[in-house]
Amino acid sequence: MIFDEDKPKKPVSHEIGSDLSFLSADELNARISLLEAEIARLTEERQRKEAGKRAADSFFKPKV
């Protein structure tokens, strides 16, 4: 049986608040691209959840 702690962990590409002074301009651009892609992914997921909530709210809306 495989336990979660036995699985190799993915290396962290960027840690919020980390020291950026040792990175080159190209490395900073790569991190910016990574973070922009993550923001887009988060935004899409938020929109899906909001749409689901709106659908549920309209379905369960009390009839007056």
Measured distance CA(50)–CA(30) in Å, rounded? 30
Phi, psi of 31 (to 5 degrees): -70, -40
Average pLDDT over residues 56-60: 88
Query: Does 40 score more than 60 pLDDT?
Result: yes
pLDDT tens per residue, range 5-37: 677 776 668 899 999 999 999 999 999 999 999
52 pLDDT band, cuts 50/70/90, is: very high
* Confidence (pTM): 0.68
